[in-house]
Amino acid sequence: MKFGVVVFPGSNCDRDIQDALQNDLNKEVIMLWHKDKNLDMFSTQDGIILPGGFSYGDYLRCGAIARFSPMMQSVVEFANKGGKVLGVCNGFQVLCESQLLPGILLRNANRQFICKNVFLKGADNKTLKIPIAHGEGRYYAEDKILDRLEANNQVIFQYCDQKGSVNAAANPNGSLRNIAGIKNEAGNVFGMMPHPERATKQALGNVDGKIILQTLLMN
């Protein structure tokens, strides 16, 4: 299994995820320039990552212009064929704008750019410590969409406290229902605001991100 990492003008976590996948998870990684559109070297057994950072200055809305880049057209096709796609932070915003995932990410409720470790509760109820770093991470969708996400088990991560309790105090940005990450109905497109690629080695003081990358992409 190999991975493609899309590089937009303004991406700044692209090298981090490349390093995490190559050096900490021993996977082949190909960097993909946003102006190219060839994904022929990937099969649906492979994965494409939309990294964190910014894209096209995040003008208009975060991820709005990236959605129409040549490479994103190919990524949408790849996702629709069943290939795995993971968007982290700005990548999550791009996936929402591309309508590969429902909802949208709005300015944090407290108006601050938040950069710190948070705790996440995943599908298996295990608590993971992962860093966040964003100004627009407040997940929003209509109630009926949120209900559907929960009913279909599409909420993959919720902000929680160290003990795993999902509550308002543990919600850093005002996301509805503490949502930190979701997947699409088919289960092959994942978006999350926290940065697993910043937590994949002991030298970084945290290896919980490795578990996330393995669980989402390598199962």
Partner 1 sequence: MIFSVQVKVMPLKELLDPQGKAVLGGLTNLDLRSIKDVRIGKNIALQIEAETAEQARAAAEEATKKLLANPVMEYFEIEIS
150 as an active site residue: the answer is: no
Site string for partner 1, 132-161 (x = CB under 8 A): ------x-xx--------------------
- The interface mask with partner 1, positions 86-125, x = CB under 8 A, is ----------xx-----xx-xxxxxx--------------
Quick one: 105 or 192, whose CB is closer to partner 1? 105
Residue-level length of the chain: 219
Paired with 4 in beta bridges are 30, 48
Q: Which of 41, 101, 29, 38 is nearest to 67 (CA)?
A: 101
Under 8 Å CB-to-CB from 113, ≥6 apart: which residues?
Answer: 133, 134, 135
Q: Which candidate in 89, 97, 134, 136 is catalytic?
A: 89
- Residue 182: in which H helix or E strand, if any? strand 179-183
Question: What's the start-to-end Cα distance of the chain, in Å?
Answer: 11
Active site residue 197: yes
- Total binding residues toward partner 1, as defined by CB under 8 A: 19
Task: Give the interface segment with partner 1, choosing from 19-27, 59-67, 76-84, 190-198 (CB under 8 A).
Answer: 59-67
Measuring CA to CA, which residue among 62, 72, 18, 9 is closest to residue 213? Answer: 18
Phi and psi, residue 216, nearest 5°: -75, -40
Smallest distance, partner 1 to C-beta of residue 97, A: 7
Active-site positions? 89, 195, 197
Interacting residues with partner 1 (CB under 8 A): 60-61, 64-65, 68, 96-97, 103-104, 106-111, 138, 140-141, 174
